[in-house]
């Protein structure tokens, strides 16, 4: 799952999965290092979103996290692995796609594959019932 926490509508979803293992990016739009690194984060997050929880939190939304007091943020960008709502491992190294992906793969077990929604699965069953009738 990939979430960018940049509006209040997403706070509930992020807080719902707060205790699951995830890779978190804290960033600020005004930070030149964040602006430079964000394309690499987005590409890595898009490639990994079906296996890992990839959460980007804009600096002005940190106060809305249920576990905000468990994180120490000394600067931006900050990438780390969170488990049970606590920081476990901080990323260090060159901020590029392959390094971010390797960091995530080495530090988090993949989440279970997401199930298809009921709507999609019911469509399949309707199609198979129609074909059986013919």
pLDDT exceeds 60 at position 20: yes
pLDDT exceeds 60 at position 120: no
Over residues 23-53, the pLDDT tens digits come to 999 999 999 999 999 999 999 999 999 999 9
**Nearest to 77, CA basis, from 52, 106, 40, 130:** 40
| pLDDT level of residue 64 (50, 70, 90 thresholds) | confident
Q: What is the mean pLDDT of residues 72-100?
A: 92
pLDDT exceeds 60 at position 111: yes
pLDDT score, position 121: 43
Please give the structure tokens belonging to residue 109: 């077990």
7: how many CB neighbours lie within 10 A of its CB? 9
Rounded to whole angstroms, the Cα distance separating 35 from 26 reads 12
| pLDDT level of residue 125 (50, 70, 90 thresholds) | very low
pLDDT score, position 12: 78
pLDDT score, position 110: 83
pTM for the model stands at 0.76
Helix (H, G, I), strand (E, B) or coil at 3: strand
What are the residue ranges spanned by the domains of the chain?
Answer: 2-133
**Nearest to 61, CA basis, from 28, 38, 93, 31:** 28
pLDDT score, position 113: 55
Q: For strand 86-90 and strand 78-83, is the pairing parallel, antiparallel, or unpaired?
A: antiparallel
* DSSP per-residue codes, 58-76: EGGGGGG-TTGGG----SS
Rounded to whole angstroms, the Cα distance separating 16 from 121 reads 25
Classified by CATH at the fold level, domain 2-133 comes out as Glutaredoxin (3.40.30)
């Amino acid at each position: 799952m990939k979430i960018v926490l940049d509006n209040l509508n997403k706070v509930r979803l992020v807080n719902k999965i707060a205790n699951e293992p995830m890779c978190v990016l804290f960033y600020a739009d005004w930070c030149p290092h964040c602006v430079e690194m964000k394309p690499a984060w987005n590409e890595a997050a898009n490639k990994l979103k079906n296996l890992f929880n990839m959460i980007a939190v804009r600096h002005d939304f940190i106060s809305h996290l249920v576990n905000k007091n468990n994180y120490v943020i000394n600067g931006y960008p900050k990438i780390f692995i969170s488990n049970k709502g606590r920081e476990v491992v901080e990323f260090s190294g060159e901020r590029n796609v392959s390094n971010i992906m390797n960091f995530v793969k080495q530090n988090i077990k993949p989440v279970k594959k997401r199930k298809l929604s009921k709507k999609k699965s019911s469509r399949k069953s309707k199609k198979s019932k129609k074909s059986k009738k013919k």
